[in-house]
Amino acid sequence: MEKIKEIEKREFGFFVGSRENPVMVRKKRFRTQEDLENFIRTHNPLDCFVSVAYYDGGEWIGADLFFDLDSKENTTLARADAETIYEVLLDDFGLKEVTMNFSGSKGYHVIATDEVIRELTTRDRREICDYLIGKYKVETLDTKASIDVKRLRRIEGTINSKSGKLCSLIKSTVATKATAIAAAMTALLEEKIREQATDDLLDELDELSQPVRAGETAVEEGVNMEDEWRDFLSWLDDLIYKHIAEIEGVDKRGRYVYLLVKIISEDYGIDANTIQQRIEELIRENKLILYTDETGEYVRRKR
C-alpha cells in the first residue's frame, strides 16, 4: 500500500457497508502509516481515499497538485494523457516528486507532492490545466476534479469496489528503494508465474474460480475447495518466495496479496474483493503465506 506523505496532516475517507448501499465516512485522521493500515485490515472498507490537502488543526494549509484523467471509452488515451502530464511536470515545471497511478477503473491519476506547489490557488491550478489542454492537447483531463483543493483521491494499493480492480502504481520519482524494487518484482513475478504455470494448473485454477465467481463457498461434488485453493496458493507461495526472499525492505505479505489478487482477478474474472477477503482469511487462520520470526524477519513457512 502507498506510504502517505505527512500522514498526520491528511484527511481520509472510506466507503463502508455493502456495495449496493455504500456509506461514505470522512474526516478520519491517522497519526502513523501503521494506524492507517491496521484500520483498513480491521474494517475492510469498500474504498479508501486520502485528501490531496494538508491540514493543521482542521485548517487547510496546502494541497498536492493532482490531475484526474478519465475516459470510459478510451482508457489508452487517458493513459497517454497521464504520461504526458507526468513528463510535463518534470520537464516544464521542474518538479521532483511526481507519481502516476492507475485509478482501478477508467482512468489515471498524476500527483505532485513538491512543497513548492502546495499553496497554489484554485485559479493557479486551473491555469495549469488550461496550459496542458492548450499546449499538449490533453483530452481526458477532468479540470473540475483537478482544481478541487479539498478533493479526496483513491489510495494506491487499495481496491476500487466498482471495478474490483486495484488502484496501482504506474511510475514515480519519489518511490522508495523498497517500493521501486517491489514494483519491479511484481512485473517480473507476473511474467514468471505465467511462464511457469502449466496448462493443467491453469485449467485447475479456472475450475476453482467457477464457484468463487458464483459467490459459492460450499464444497462442490465432494471436492474440498479450501484444500484446492491452498494447493494453488502454496505453489504461488513457492514461486514468490524463491524470487523475493533475498530482497530487503520489500513488504512480502502485502506484495504477495497484491500480486495474487491482480493476477486472479484479471486473468479469471473473479471479483477482487472476494478473492482478497478469502486470502486474508487464510492469513488470519495461519494457513498461508510467509511468516515472521520473533525479530520480525520473514522466514519460510513450515508445511
Mean pLDDT score, 210-236: 46
* φ and ψ at residue 61, rounded to 5 degrees: -125, 10
Q: Is the pLDDT confidence value at 81 over 50? A: yes
* Residue 269 pLDDT grade (very low, low, confident, very high; cuts 50, 70, 90): low
Residue 30 DSSP SS3: coil
Q: Are 189 and 240 in contact (CB under 8 A)?
A: yes
Report pLDDT for 256: 53
Q: Which residue has the higher pLDDT, 285 or 142?
A: 142
Q: Are 159 and 167 in contact (CB under 8 A)?
A: yes
CA distances from 213 to 16, 44, 227 (A): 22, 20, 18
Report pLDDT for 122: 95
Report pLDDT for 42: 87
Q: Which residue has the cell 505453489?
A: 235
**Residues facing 169 on adjacent strands:** 101
Go through the domains of the chain in sequence order and give each one's CATH number. 7-172 (3.90.920.10), 177-299 (no CATH)
Report pLDDT for 248: 42
Q: Which residue has the higher pLDDT, 5 or 268?
A: 5
Q: Amino acid identity of 208?
A: L
**Residues facing 240 on adjacent strands:** none
* φ and ψ at residue 211, rounded to 5 degrees: -65, -30
User: What is the Cα–Cα distance from 152 to 155, expressed in whole angstroms?
Assistant: 9
| pLDDT tens digits, one per residue of 137-173 | 999 999 999 999 999 999 998 888 888 888 888 888 8
Q: Is the pLDDT confidence value at 87 over 80? A: yes
**What b/e string do you get for 215-242 counting C-beta neighbours within 10 Å, with b at 16 or more?**
eeeeeeeeeebeebbeebbeebbeebbe
Mean pLDDT, the chain, whole residue set: 74
Report pLDDT for 148: 96
User: What is the Cα–Cα distance from 280 to 233, expressed in whole angstroms?
Assistant: 12
Can you list the alpha helix ranges (DSSP code H) found in the chain? Answer: 33-43, 75-91, 122-136, 143-146, 177-196, 199-213, 225-244, 252-268, 272-284
| pLDDT tens digits, one per residue of 23-72 | 999 999 999 998 998 898 888 899 999 999 999 988 999 999 999 999 98
Q: Which residue has the higher pLDDT, 73 or 288?
A: 73
Q: Which residue has the cell 494541497?
A: 63
Mean pLDDT score, 194-200: 53
Closest alpha carbon to 183 in 244, 112, 268, 269: 244
Q: Are 204 and 143 in contact (CB under 8 A)?
A: no
The two most distant CA atoms of the chain are separated, in Å, by: 65
Mean pLDDT score, 249-256: 50
Q: Is the pLDDT confidence value at 97 over 70? A: yes
**Residues facing 68 on adjacent strands:** 109
Q: Are 110 and 98 in contact (CB under 8 A)?
A: yes
* Residue 273 pLDDT grade (very low, low, confident, very high; cuts 50, 70, 90): low
Q: Grid coordinates representing 258?
A: 497484491
